[in-house]
Structure 1
Amino acid sequence: MIDTHAHLDLPHFDEDRAEVVQRAREAGVEAIIMPAISPDGFPKARQLVEEYPELYRAVGIHPHAAADVGPQQLAAVEAEVGCPKVVAIGEIGLDYFYAERALPEQQQRVFREQIRLAKRCGLPIIVHNRNAHADVLRLLEEEQDGTLQGVLHCFSGDAAVLERALALGFHVSFTGNITYRKSAVAELVPLVPEDRLMVETDAPYMTPQPYRGKRNEPAFVRYVVERIAELTGRARERVVADTSRVARALFRLPLLLGAFCLSCLWAQGQQDSASGRHLYAKGLGFGLHGATNTIVELRRFVTGGDQTFSYEGVPAFGLHLFYEFHDYVAAELAYTYSRNTKVLKSPQRPWGQDRPDIYQVLELCAHVSPNPYGRVNFYGTLGGAALFNRINDQPENRVALVTGVGLRFNVLTSFGMLMPWMEWRLDFALGREEREVVLSLTERRRAEVGFYLSLPRVGLLWFPRW
């Protein structure tokens, strides 16, 4: 989930900001966009986005502060655009509910100047609109030249306002007000196309049910998502995926996140209110994998001397059972079959074998992930294996220590979760077996042979909805 509007720089969060951000991570919030009120808050905002990887900024002047805005303040906004993690101009717009703070004419002048700044800088705008629908739409229509993009945050208009906003190419964002029992805005949610819809909290304001009356925070954006799912008849997972995709595109988050994955590793997932687990929680899964097996033999000759010899590029494939019994820890039972034809006779190897060597590996391992709430997870593997090999047509059974490191991707679908993964795994056979090693047409030597398997592999697991 992406909370596209939260004022985490306000004093409301000074005492527990770190805990608020941590709760957002645990709830599955991968990014939070923090709009500005005035240039006075820019230094604090710069510090916060540096401190918290999931925070991004919008820079601008809120209509409440428009009365005192002159060229110096507008220049400060434009200068701030070049700072790291600035993704939009905002929060800007019109607010006639508090017209005593700034006259409508003053607000309109500042709004228009900042719209033009956004177009010069190629950034989207985040629009505040309260009791000013006609003038907000008029100014947007006058300034729309095909390059202006943005979102009407905390949408509060009617169907006609929505229709004009969408016709302008604008996005719409809803907050906790759609969870209220008598919300008229909730009726408009199904009218917004999936590629224009985003979610937000407007924290610390607009707290959703069931926490209405308390301070809002980004973790509560999941209640907005759940309400949208109810109103549109879409799966909650799909709402999460769609609204996050739209937000990334509008605010160009993939580029800023380094192709998205790297900075969301610790932040993405969602708390499931029914089960108490996060969005990417897994149960029992099944899958397949393929690998390129490198068999490394460590030979200690009975007559003296050592040799390391490897067979590279041996294909391998297998089956998987996977069960996650804790957010951070999962168990894996895997079977891998590998057939080494590189030992066979050939014109280049006339002393080779008549039959290939067969390696069958049954592994029982634990996976430990430091970031289980992510769409992308790092993990380490540790376990044991039973090896049922047939070497030169002779059985050779061993046990092995298994280690590995990998990366997996959680993909939500309507028929369960798919988890593509990639891993480099090493199976170290314990002990050595004595056997004859053929070195050439004329040389055969007895050796105690140990070995390990190096298995860079990829696979796909499916976790069905039980």
Structure 2
Amino acid sequence: MTLVDSHAHIYSEQFKQDREEALARALAEGVEKIYMPNIDHTSIDIMLETEEKHPNQCIAMMGLHPTSVDKDFEKELYLVEEWLDKRKFAAVGECGIDLYWDKTFLTQQQEALRVQVELAKKHQLPIVLHTRDSFDETYEIIAAAQDGTLKGIFHCFSGTVEQAEKVKELGFLMGIGGVATFKNGGLDKVLPHVSLDDLVLETDCPYLAPVPHRGKRNEPVYLPLVARRVAELMQKPVEEVAQTTTRNAFNLFKL
């Protein structure tokens, strides 16, 4: 099986001691491509260094994470824009709205997302969206901006069947990760009603490790556990899940 991890912070400090080994473990399990979303100015150097060391496996995105948006977010966005002008990235991201941790800067998060949507259009890149406790707020901005050219992923999708339908109507994909394996994750009620053509797989490592590793550090080697759970819920062969989600990722990221 060939698999694509469409969202992994493998450059994270949590992999400082064993990043090389973690990447080798993933490759041995068929995880041939790992797409890395940026967080903010503090993550750019290590992310690009990881890509430089593993250009055939690790591919960088460029964006500003909503939890890094504060009153000075414009400075961060100028840096994102500079990098997008300077070299090729797989996508704009990770960006979006996060109302789980703090609602203080909602207005700034909305503005930062609108700016990054326009950057995605300008550079003809997909956009990778973070929507924690903010599906409706994020959807509203993307739907208003959709002119037929915008594509991307609602990363870490854990919404309803109705929300899944909205994502599909936008022409976006849903990123499915470890939440699919959680007993009360809710995706058992959603995945039987969607198409594999609308999904990509992800780990979001080092976060959201799938069962039986829940609560521990997540890593790309666990992606087959997600694939198997998706196959089980959708009553499809796991090989078909791997093949279709890999194709979807490659088509989106133009690999």
1:95 and 1:132 in contact (8 A); partners too: yes
Q: Does the CA-based 8 Å contact 1:96-1:104 persist in structure 2? A: yes
Tell me what 1:207 maps to: 209
Aligned-partner Cα distance in 2 for 1:150–1:193: 16
Q: Which residue of 2 aligns with 1:243?
A: 245
TM-score normalised by structure 1 residue count: 0.53
Bigger-Rg structure (1/2): 1
Corresponding residue of 1:170: 172
1:127 aligned to which of 110, 116, 129: 129
Are 2:83 and 1:80 aligned?
Answer: yes
Give the Cα–Cα distance (whole angstroms) in 1 for the partners of residues 27 and 33 of structure 2: 9
Contact 2:129 2:154 (8 Å CA) reproduced: yes
1:59 — aligned with what? 62
In the other structure, the counterpart of 1:107 is 109
Q: Structure 1 residue 85: deviation in Å?
A: 5.9
Aligned partners of 1:15 and 1:84: how far apart in 2?
29
1:96 matches 2:76? no
Provide the secondary structure at the position in 1 that maps to 2:91: strand
Greater Cα shift, 159-168 or 242-251: 159-168
Determine which structure has greater relative contact order: mean sequence separation of CA pairs < 8 Å that are 6+ residues apart, divided by chain length: 2
* 1:103–1:86 Cα change, 3 Å: same
Question: What number of residue pairs does the alignment pair up?
Answer: 252
Q: What SS is found at the alignment partner of 1:213?
A: coil
| Residues 30 and 85 of structure 1, relative CA distance in 2, 3 Å threshold | farther
Gaps of 5+ in 1: 254-466
**Alpha-carbon offset, residue 139 of structure 1:** 0.5
The CA distance in 2 between the partners of 1:66 and 1:175, in whole Å, is 25
**Amino acid corresponding to residue 65 of structure 2 in structure 1:** H
The letter of the residue matching 1:226 is R
Identify if the C-alpha distance between structure 1 residues 85 and 30 changes in structure 2 by more than 3 Å, giving closer, same or farther: farther
8 Å Cα contact 1:49/1:85 also seen in 2: no
Distance in structure 1 (CA, Å) of the matches to 2:11 and 2:182:
26
In structure 2, how many angstroms separate the alpha carbons of the residues matched to 1:156 and 1:236? 21
Deviations 1:90-142 (A, max 9, x none): 11001111125x42111101111111111111000110001112111110111
Tell me the CA shift for residue 84 of structure 1. Answer: 5.6
Change in 2 beyond 3 A, CA 1:43/1:83: farther
3-state SS of the aligned residue for 2:31? coil
Alignment of structure 1 residues 19-418 onto 2, 5 Å: 19-52=21-54, 53-82=56-85, 86-100=89-103, 102-253=104-255
Could you say what secondary structure the match of 1:120 adopts? Answer: helix
2:64 maps to amino acid? I
**Whole-Å Cα distance in 2 between the matches of residues 171 and 119 of structure 1?**
17
Query: Residues 56 and 85 of structure 1 are in contact (CA less than 8 Å); yes or no, is this contact kept in structure 2?
Result: no
Contact 2:158-2:185 within 8 A present in 1 as well: no
1:70 and 1:184, CA in 2 relative to 1: closer, same or farther beyond 3 A? closer
Q: What TM-score, normalized by structure 2, do the two folds share?
A: 0.95
State the distance in 2 between where 1:8 and 1:183 align: 24
Percent identical residues: 36
Alpha-carbon deviation of 1:211?
A: 1.1
Contact persistence 1:39–1:60 (CA under 8 A): no
CA pair 26-205 structure 1, distance change in 2 beyond 3 A: same
Question: What amino acid is aligned across from residue 54 of structure 1 in structure 2?
Answer: Q
Task: Go from structure 1 to structure 2 and tell me whether the alpha carbon gap of 1:198 and 1:55 turns closer, same or farther (over 3 Å shift).
Answer: same
Which residue identity is paired with 1:208?
P
Instruction: Report the Cα offset of residue 82 of structure 1.
Output: 4.8
Change in Cα spacing, 1:85 to 1:24, as seen in structure 2 (3 Å) is: farther
> 1 or 2, which has the higher helix percentage?
2
Is residue 37–residue 61 contact of structure 1 (8 Å, CA) maintained in 2?
yes
Whether the 8 Å CA contact 2:178–2:211 is kept in 1: the answer is yes
Specify the SS of the correspondent of 1:32. Answer: strand
Instruction: Tell me, yes or no, if the aligned pair for 2:98 and 2:133 is still in contact at 8 Å.
Output: yes
More strand by share: 1
- Gap change, CA 1:236 and 1:136, over 3 Å in 2: same
Q: Hey, what's the Cα distance between the residues in 1 that align with 2:149 and 2:130?
A: 19
**Residue type of the partner of 2:32?**
E
CA distance in structure 1 between the aligned counterparts of 2:87 and 2:49, rounded to whole angstroms: 10
Deviations, residues 380-428 of structure 1 (Å, cap 9, x unaligned): xxxxxxxxxxxxxxxxxxxxxxxxxxxxxxxxxxxxxxxxxxxxxxxxx
Distance in 1 between the 2:9 and 2:73 partners? 24
Judge conservation of contact 1:127–1:152 (CA < 8 Å) in 2. Answer: yes
Q: For 1:36 and 1:251, locate their aligned partners in 2 and report how far apart those are by CA, in whole Å.
A: 15
User: What is the CA RMSD across the aligned residues, in angstroms?
Assistant: 1.4
